[in-house]
Amino acid sequence: MTRSAVLALLGSLILELGAALPTDHMEQTLHFARQAGLAITENFHPLTRVQRSHRLTGGPDDYPISSGGVANLRAVAQQMQYVTQVGIEEERYYMVVDTGGADTWIVSEEFQCVDPNSGQEIAQERCMFGPLYNRDFPDGEICQNLNSTYNDGEYINGPMGFADITITDVTIPKQQFSIVNLAAWNGDGVSSGLLGLGFRAATTAYTGENPRNDSADNLVHYSPIMETLRTSKVADPIFSIAMSREESRSFIAFGGVPPVRTGEYTTVPILMETSPRTGITAYYVYSIEVDAISWNSGTIYHTETNLPHMFVESGTAVNVFPVNVAAGINMAYQPSGQLQDNIWYVPCDAIPPTLDIVIGGKAFRTTPSSMILPETATEGSNLCLSGIQVGEPNGYLLGIPFLQEILAVFDVSEKLELSLAQRFD
């Protein structure tokens, strides 16, 4: 494509989106993309920001209320997440975009919704899914089942098979996925499943059809979406995410980057990690080195270095840091945060400190509005979930607060790189 054609395409895409990208910034945007070996693509779709429910175990009246007026752990279930439309053959469904997992699944119209605590079946609507899938596997079923448990205690199970799956305008042929028939899930009333964008080593299929027989002995790692994209060569094995609190400015793209104005990119390698469960070293998640984290409230200034690896996670509403880092940042809010049941809360009207995360020698400033989650406020309380939470080793991550107002590019070709650029549109 010629340079003039690229500029014309970029201009038409911007007009369609109603985005504000002045003409005099187009050349600079294209220049930064070219410098990083990237191309602006027309294969992008909006990301929709939706709120998870808290209805799975009965509603807010079922949850204990602490003396501070905060529903214990319930704010976690009310976080915002991003979904996009995904096509299975000719039908389209919203799915949660998840870079922290590799399994793609959609829920069956005949699924059993279960309480994660008791394992007892409850009404389907309590899992709060969007439209349910009412078909079989278009390209055939196989003798495997998906059996996955997530960090928040949710879990799903179902048979596996194949279908052509379309994301943006890229169709990935004969992709393995699951039609889930059992779920313990806190949904959002919109999404019907999960779009797993991670690596083969993170997939969780098992031979056989009975999940009671699943163990490490019959675990099977299969080709997830990004690996199938790479081997099928239907598009460059790259996807990019541009998140914002403003829904009209949130996109996912495949094969390149969406037409959003950015600064210069920094590129770092994606790292292999060793599984604490199996001891196997492989690519599991989008793990990177973090040079430093700095925060400044005007009266408190601190920079932390010698940090562990962290992974970039589009499906988590908070950043998860080591205990000393999370505590230092939350205590720098004005007024300072409160730790209850190992969860950090801050006054909903608090002033966050400035937060800079240095990656590849470049500082990325976290938007202050991303550091407080107002949708998690409980009735009668002025406390909201902080966007900065504490985690355990092997679980530190850069979630949605980090990704908002950044363009993140995930390259799973032989380069295995993550490129980041601050947004200025």
Q: Identify the pLDDT of residue 407.
A: 97
The tally of CA atoms less than 13 A away on the side-chain side of residue 107 is: 30
Count of CB atoms situated within 10 Å of the CB of 212: 7
Separation of alpha carbons 200 and 227, rounded Å: 7
- Our CA angle for 163, 252, 372, nearest 5°, is 125
Phi, psi (deg, nearest 5) at residue 415? -70, -40
Is this structure's pTM higher than 0.85?
yes
Q: Identify the pLDDT of residue 22.
A: 44
Question: Which residue's structure tokens are 């009209």?
Answer: 248
Q: What is the 3 state secondary structure string of the chain?
A: CCHHHHHHHHHHHHHHHCCCCCHHHHHHHHHHHHHCCCCECCCEEECEEEECCCCCCCCHHHCCECCCCCECCHHHHCCEEEEEEEEECCEEEEEEEECCCCCCEEEEEEEEEECCCCCCEECHHHHCCCCCECCCCCCCEEEEEEEEECCCCCEEEEEEEEEEEEECCEEEEEEEEEEEEEEECCCCCCCCEEEECCCHHHCCEEECCCHHHCCHHHEECCCCHHHHHHHHCCCCCEEEEEECCCHHHCEEEECCECCCCECCCEEEECEEEECCCCCCEEEEEEEECCCEEEEECCCCEEEECCCCCEEECCCCCCEEECHHHHHHHHHCCECCCEEECCEEEEECCCECCEEEEEECCEEEECCHHHHEEHHHCCCCCCEEEECEEECCCCCCEECHHHHECEEEEEECCCCCEEEEEEECC
Q: At what angle do helices 3-17 and 26-35 cross, to 10 degrees?
A: 120
Q: Identify the pLDDT of residue 7.
A: 36
CATH topology of domain 266-422: Cathepsin D, subunit A; domain 1 (2.40.70)
Q: Identify the pLDDT of residue 78.
A: 61
Separation of alpha carbons 311 and 333, rounded Å: 25
Count of CB atoms situated within 10 Å of the CB of 410: 21
Phi, psi (deg, nearest 5) at residue 372? -130, 135
Q: Identify the pLDDT of residue 65.
A: 26
Asked whether the beta carbons of 242 and 258 are under 8 A apart, the reply is yes
Count of CB atoms situated within 10 Å of the CB of 30: 18
* CATH 2.40.70.10, applies to 45-253: yes
Mean pLDDT by 10 residues, the chain (425 residues): 38 40 67 92 93 54 30 52 94 96 97 91 95 96 95 91 96 97 94 97 95 93 96 95 92 95 96 87 96 95 96 94 97 95 93 98 94 85 92 92 97 97 92
Would you give the end-to-end CA distance of the chain in angstroms? 25
Pair of tokens at residue 291? 């040079």
| Alpha-carbon dihedral 167, 370, 249, 50, rounded to 10 degrees | 50
- Tell me if domain 45-253 and domain 266-422 are identical in fold: yes
Count of CB atoms situated within 10 Å of the CB of 277: 8
Asked whether the beta carbons of 197 and 95 are under 8 A apart, the reply is no
Per domain, the residue ranges of the chain are: 3-40, 45-253, 266-422
